[in-house]
Amino acid sequence: MSDQKSYQGSCHCGQVKYSVSLSPPLEQQDVIQCNCTYSSIYSPITELAKLISSDRLDLQQKREYRFASKNYPHYFCTTCGTSLYAKGSAPDGGELVAVNVRTINDVDIKALKFKEIDGRKV
């Protein structure tokens, strides 16, 4: 049985701060690496994302951006432009949130496990 772990994160300028709880902890899950057009352009910022239940995400100040099908809103800081998270649908019909793992404080990106998905076909 895995424990729940809380993480703190923020955008580059610190204007938007958030906390998120994951069970199992991030280090025990697969981090999604997507090749969609958005992730390809912003790869240093958004290529690493973690799918979680959206009710576990608490963000304060952000702006929404939609593209292509307009089904998956992306949220970013209005001051520095850091991509923070995106919302989507889970295979079971529930809502998912993809958090930009690079915005989580004190996470060793190199120590995480990755799963590649073909976002261009979604």
Write down the pTM of the prediction: 0.70
Residue range 34-88, pLDDT digits in tens: 777 666 666 533 334 444 544 445 555 566 665 655 567 878 888 888 888 877 7
What CA–CA distance (Å, rounded) separates 104 from 92?
27
CATH number of the domain bearing residue 108: 2.170.150.70
Cα radius of gyration rounded to whole Å, the chain = 14
Q: Which two tokens stand for residue 42?
A: 């912003």
Residue 35: inside a domain:
yes
Residue 83: inside a domain:
yes
Total domain count, the chain: 1
Residue 122: inside a domain:
no
> Do 42 and 35 contact (CB within 8 A), yes or no?
no
Residue 53: give the domain boundaries: 5-117
**DSSP letter at 110?**
G
